[in-house]
Structure 1
Amino acid sequence: MLSVYEGFFSGGARIVHSDVIMGLVEGGQHHSVLSIHGEVHREATRQAMENDACYQQLTGAGVGVSTLGRSFGGGEGEVSTGFTGPELADAARALAGADVVLSLKEQPLSLLNQGGLPRRPVVVCLHRSDPEHQGAALDELKAAIADGKVVACVCCAESTRDAYQAAGIPPEVLHVIPNGVDLLRFRPDPARRLAFRASLGIPDTAPVVVFAARYATMKNIPLFLGAAREWLRREPAGHVVMCGTGMTADNQPALDADIEAAFGVEREELTARLHLLGVRRDMETVYAGSDVVALTSSFGEAAPLCLIEGMMCGAVPVATDIGDSASIVAGHGIITPPDPEAVASAWTEAVVGRAEFAKAHARSRERFSRTRMIASYAALLDGLHTSHTTTSATPPPLPEPL
């Protein structure tokens, strides 16, 4: 198997996809990764591939990772163009050793659709519910399906399948495999809870809301901060934690402006209990130390990983109704309208009802398991490989000379 990434940078889709690769490797498959970009500049953060946690986990497990070496600073939905001869030669070598290719979202298809590359069945892994925001990438997906190159699309959510079908993708190529997480890593842990709170000077009994997201328009940061202001006003002992790419004032001036706009004259008083942590590699500890995991996104989400990870660690999910959030949260947390006061009230309700929600979380752990997710991927990929293996993949012998 070869997985093609647009690039390595912090985000739920890359975490899920990398975890799937790790699980399939543990099951005996051989995998390698080709990253179009060796460096990515997003959310006011410049990151080399080698510094990314997913890259380090994959290479640490013996998965080979190579790159075309490009540097990317584009926005959502942009695709790479103008591939050089040496870049195409590198891609051809990577493809030649694969039986099946996985494309992490549709953006890498701008490379895989180039003429002259070895032809391999491609499976596109889709992790959003807004194909209309994917621009040229959606056109690349349609072209690859029409050409027969893309043989399947794995959707991480029902909302993803519905959105892409409505955008013109044939339903027969769309398969849903819901996201799952490592239940040994993501679990309630009293020791982690105490350690996390102690590291921030938060009292053991204080209510804590965590927001785990990158700084992006789709996450609706102003709504979250508006709710944080209302909640911190009402909860004098409460604390709010923000983590993810761009979630530090040092490298994200826009975040500072958002905080100023949300809190105004109350900024000095209330933001002493607002903690900006940036990217964390111990999210199991952050979630275990929190009472509520919040999501305020306005578009794009499919099956938000933060809700699942937080819930499995004991935090009650409170989210806007976007993607599959409602089905994930049903019976486990609270869905709110996109209104700051309503969101703040839901956080308080979640804190009060945390013990009861914990019972539902415990009953649902298998539904959200990594083991279930990886087994589903393995079954689909094995079936696709078998059905698309033909002798035509081997060039016919040259005729004997006359």
Structure 2
Amino acid sequence: MNADLVRPIAPAVPRARVLSVYEAFFAGGARALHTAVVRELHTSGSHRHSVLGLYREVHRESLRQRMTSDSRYQALRDAGIRAVALRRSAADRSPFTAAEMVVAARHAARADVVLSLKEQPLRLVNQEGFPARPLVVCLHRSDPEHQGGALADLLAAIAAGRVASVVCCAESTRAAYRAAGVPASLLTVIPNGVDLARYRPVSTRARGRLRRSLGLPASARVVVFAARYDGMKNVPLFLAAARDFLARHEDAHVLMCGAGMSLANTGLCVDLEVAFDDRPDLLRRLHTLGVREDMPDVFAVADVVALTSSTGEAAPLCLIEGMMCGAVPVTTDVGDSAAIVAGHGLVVEPDAAVISAAWDEAVARRAEWAPALLRDRPRFSHTRMAAAYAAVIDRVGDVAPAGARRRR
């Protein structure tokens, strides 16, 4: 054999082992996004990922959400990613037990880098028995002062030298946490992205079929509100705008989906009664869909994706997902929303009549904005986002914070 043709086989480069720590598994934009990043990096071979949750179940927005029935948990397991949780519910705020710390330490000891999904899991990571590993904290809100003791946990982790990087999903997040005391040198912005293969416009025929499946006329004006039932979302403002919109247009329909957006939620029922007290007939065209696993289809039937939040938002996924499916975004000026929808939709004052009129304008100008939405799709790609996360993981894995040592 010609020796020139024989080349040594290069040894395989070991993939970094990454542990993500979630507060819990339940329906929510930040969990959906982080899960997508973990799946992308694991299946592409960039790293080996695993996930640890603090709680096995939570009670939120009128729902009991168990880890094993959560679609994000199932997506991780389907991708071959180990996902486990401590044996406690979110109602249990007692100190972590010695047995729980043994479990957490075992999982962290196998990792080269730890990611914390938001700052809440730092309650566990800051415990003395949690192994020192380069820590990346991933932030998805713009109101650190409203996160209970989690901000203090973040600042304590930074002071202890645990934190190697803080990833912010929006410029508003970076500004808010810098003002709250996080050193600017730690803060990096990675804008949110979505799976463009799932979130895309559909043909006229497919759109008609999807509308029929939801009981919507083909020619209806359709507004979608995708959010969990929470004070920051300003549901009463949305319902006031929906009442005005439905009263003015007999062909209009409004869809509400997300955790707590169902008639099983007594809080929402009270809000509906207040908003539609003198016009209960309009409620026949307001559809409360609850948690949906087919959001690309829901957005695809919409003319408008609406957001009426008053605080807390950073880079709302609903606006990006709706836009990528061809819906025109209409949003209040919160977080980075205005920058996200610039050139693609409307930013409005938090006034019901103004919002309702903006929905009219959005429906009328939908075709006008369509070319810009198609042109700018790469800006919102989840592959671009995942690559940026991979770069942060690789960087901090090579430069550990004080006291942290990598395990090989």
- Short-chain TM bin: over 0.9
Secondary structure of 1:301's match? coil
Residues 392 and 240 of structure 1: is their aligned pair in 2 closer, same or farther, counting only changes over 3 Å?
Answer: closer
Q: What whole-Å deviation, never above 9, does each CA across 1:282-306 have from its counterpart, x for those lacking one?
A: 1000000110000000001000000
Aligned partners of 2:188 and 2:276: how far apart in 1?
44
Determine whether 1:68 maps to 2:116. no
User: Which residue of 118, 128, 133 corresponds with 2:131?
Assistant: 118
Aligned partners of 1:45 and 1:376: how far apart in 2?
34
User: Which residue of 240, 252, 258 corresponds with 1:226?
Assistant: 240
Deviation at 1:26, TM superposition (A): 2.1
Secondary structure of 2:310's match? coil
What are structure 1's unaligned runs of at least 5 residues? 75-79, 396-402
- TM-score by length of structure 2 reads 0.93
Deviation at 1:117, TM superposition (A): 2.0
Q: Is the 8 A contact 2:112 2:406 kept in 1?
A: no
Identity within the alignment, %: 58
> 2:48 matched to which residue of 1?
30
Deviation at 1:81, TM superposition (A): 4.5
Amino acid at match of 1:60: D
Q: Is the 8 A contact 2:133 2:406 kept in 1?
A: no
> 1:46 matched to which residue of 2?
64
> 1:344 matched to which residue of 2?
356
Secondary structure of 1:72's match? coil
User: Which residue of 216, 235, 238 corresponds with 2:252?
Assistant: 238
Deviation at 1:91, TM superposition (A): 0.3
Determine whether 1:324 maps to 2:341. no
Deviation at 1:391, TM superposition (A): 11
> 1:217 matched to which residue of 2?
231
User: Which residue of 130, 148, 164 corresponds with 1:135?
Assistant: 148
Amino acid at match of 2:80: G
Deviation at 1:27, TM superposition (A): 2.3
Amino acid at match of 1:350: A
Aligned partners of 2:230 and 2:402: how far apart in 1?
44
User: Which residue of 65, 85, 92 corresponds with 2:98?
Assistant: 85
Q: Is the 8 A contact 1:193 1:290 kept in 2?
A: no
Q: What whole-Å deviation, never above 9, does each CA across 1:126-146 have from its counterpart, x for those lacking one?
A: 000000101210000000001
Q: Is the 8 A contact 1:81 1:110 kept in 2?
A: no
User: Which residue of 164, 171, 174 corresponds with 2:187?
Assistant: 174
Q: Is the 8 A contact 2:166 2:188 kept in 1?
A: yes
Higher relative contact order (CA 8 A, sep 6+): 2
Aligned partners of 2:406 and 2:29: how far apart in 1?
38
Q: What whole-Å deviation, never above 9, does each CA across 1:53-90 have from its counterpart, x for those lacking one?
A: 1000000100001110211149xxxxx55000110000
Aligned partners of 1:140 and 1:392: how far apart in 2?
18
Deviation at 1:189, TM superposition (A): 0.8
Q: Is the 8 A contact 2:400 2:406 kept in 1?
A: no
Please give the residue correspondences for 1:204-353 in structure 2 after superposition, counting only pairs within 5 Å: 204-249=218-263, 251-267=264-280, 269-353=281-365
Aligned partners of 2:311 and 2:85: how far apart in 1?
31
Q: What whole-Å deviation, never above 9, does each CA across 1:176-235 have from its counterpart, x for those lacking one?
A: 000000111100012542232102221111110000001000000000000000001111
Residues 389 and 164 of structure 1: is their aligned pair in 2 closer, same or farther, counting only changes over 3 Å?
Answer: closer
Determine whether 1:379 maps to 2:402. no
> 1:17 matched to which residue of 2?
34
Amino acid at match of 1:87: E
Secondary structure of 1:374's match? helix
Deviation at 1:116, TM superposition (A): 2.3
Deviation at 1:47, TM superposition (A): 1.1
Residues 266 and 176 of structure 1: is their aligned pair in 2 closer, same or farther, counting only changes over 3 Å?
Answer: same
Aligned partners of 2:34 and 2:251: how far apart in 1?
38
> 1:362 matched to which residue of 2?
374
Aligned partners of 1:323 and 1:288: how far apart in 2?
25
Aligned partners of 1:17 and 1:81: how far apart in 2?
27
Determine whether 1:109 maps to 2:122. yes
Amino acid at match of 1:4: V
Secondary structure of 1:37's match? coil
Q: Could you say what the CA RMSD is over the residues aligned between the two structures, in angstroms?
A: 1.5
Residues 389 and 219 of structure 1: is their aligned pair in 2 closer, same or farther, counting only changes over 3 Å?
Answer: closer
Amino acid at match of 1:152: S
Amino acid at match of 2:229: Y
Aligned partners of 1:307 and 1:143: how far apart in 2?
34
> 2:208 matched to which residue of 1?
194
Aligned partners of 1:389 and 1:174: how far apart in 2?
15
Secondary structure of 1:32's match? strand
Please give the residue correspondences for 1:139-154 in structure 2 after superposition, counting only pairs within 5 Å: 139-154=152-167
Q: Is the 8 A contact 2:142 2:172 kept in 1?
A: yes
> 2:198 matched to which residue of 1?
185
Deviation at 1:393, TM superposition (A): 2.9
Residues 323 and 389 of structure 1: is their aligned pair in 2 closer, same or farther, counting only changes over 3 Å?
Answer: closer
Deviation at 1:369, TM superposition (A): 0.5
Amino acid at match of 2:329: P
- TM-score by length of structure 1 reads 0.94
Q: Is the 8 A contact 2:119 2:151 kept in 1?
A: yes
Aligned residues: 388
> 1:77 matched to which residue of 2?
none
Amino acid at match of 2:25: F
Residues 189 and 163 of structure 1: is their aligned pair in 2 closer, same or farther, counting only changes over 3 Å?
Answer: same
